[in-house]
Every structure is written in C-alpha cells, then in structure tokens.
Amino acid sequence: MALLVTASVVAQEKSTGGFKGKVRVEVGTPVGVTVVVRQQEREVGRVVTDKNGEFAVNRLRPGLYGVTLRKPGLSVGTIENIEVKAGKTRSLGDRLILTIDEGSIAFIRGSVFDPNGRSVPNARVELARIEADGNVKKIDGRITNEIGSFVFRLTPDVAKYRVTAKAKDSEPVSKDVDVDGAAVYRVALTLKPSTN
C-alpha cells in the first residue's frame, strides 16, 4: 500500500508543475501577503508569503495561470499568463513589488512653528510608536521642508504614535497621535526657546 501511495505521489509530481517567487513591499514586512492562484477567473489555490516574502505553489496542472497578490495597506498586484509545465517549478524572481495603497494608508502630516508662529524649516521630526506597555520605539525621522511641513505614511492599523520636533536653540516638543484607520492626522508643533 505504501509503495502504491509513493508511486502515485511521484507520478503526480511528474504530471504537475508549479512556480515560486519573492514579494517585496514598499513599507512594512513582506510576511503575510496572500497569493491567490487563478486559472481564467477561477481560484485554484492560495498560499501566504513567509517572513522573507517567499512563496511556492505546487501541484498545478500544466497550463496558464494568473496570480493576485494582496495585503492590507498595499496596492493589489497581479501577474498574468504564467506558464506551468509538467515536472517543472518556474521562478518568478523577486521583482514582485507591492506599493502603498494611498486609499488605505494613514498619514501623519504636520508643521513646526517657532514661538512667534513662524514656520521652522530644517527642524528634525521623529516618529515613535508607543507600545501597549508604555515603551516608546523610534521608527522614522524627517527634516521639515522650506515651509516647516512634514509627513509620515503608515499602515492604518490601530496604534499610538509620538511625534517629536527638535531644532537648534529650542527645547524638543512632542504630541501623541492615536491612529485608528486610513485617514490624515494633522499635528502642529510649536517649539519653545531653550532655557540654557
């Protein structure tokens, strides 16, 4: 019986094929991208990328397939006309890049002002995530533009962030921002003169 099962698996591997690839993402990690395999419009399989963004689809009958790549906060990617040949695993390479979906992203936009209400160009702005245990973890940094503005693009997951502005001859100033979905969150930071 075991010999019969082994022969059946070997025969199936020789009569079917597959493909593999690596997904890269513009923001976040490539883990958890859903890879939907289609033949015409019919779904025939589904896998999820690993921590490196890699995936493999096996045991497909020879023919043409399409793939749809999905992850919340990122644009949907598609690849069409992937030819699968019996006994072969085709590599799609690592040029599968998912970009940010502007419609499902959270933006923290803001401006930095001096005590007189004037815009502050070239101020350092840092973004940190406030964890559930109260720890603060820095995740990004920017320099304000010529009109004192800055923007951070984030996944729309519920989270709390701290935005801190620093400039020469000023005390750092911070504001906390609660992100609870795809939207634009606005912050105005007014610097205070340094006391020393």
Q: Tens digit of pLDDT for each residue in 81-134?
A: 999 999 999 999 887 888 877 667 788 999 999 999 999 999 999 999 999 999
pTM (whole model) above 0.85: no
**In terms of Cα–Cα distance, which of 52, 49, 71, 50 is closest to 156?**
71
User: Each residue of 136-151: pLDDT tens digit?
Assistant: 999 999 999 999 999 9
Buried b (16+ CB within 10 A) or exposed e, 144-157: beeebebebebbbe
Extents of the domains making up the chain: 2-98, 105-193
CATH 3.30.420.10 fits 105-193, yes or no: no
2-98 and 105-193: identical CATH topology: yes
Contact 188, 110 (CB under 8 A): yes
Q: What share of the chain is helix, strand, coil (3-state, %, to 5)?
A: 10, 55, 35
**In terms of Cα–Cα distance, which of 88, 100, 111 is closest to 154?**
100
Query: What does DSSP assign to residue 13?
Result: H
Predicted confidence band of residue 169 (pLDDT cuts 50, 70, 90): confident
Q: Is 50 exceeded by the pLDDT of residue 5?
A: no
CATH number of the structural domain 2-98: 2.60.40.10
Contact 125, 188 (CB under 8 A): no
Report residue 6: phi and psi, to 5°. Answer: -60, -45
Looking up tokens 């020393």 gives 196
Both tokens of residue 93? 């390479």
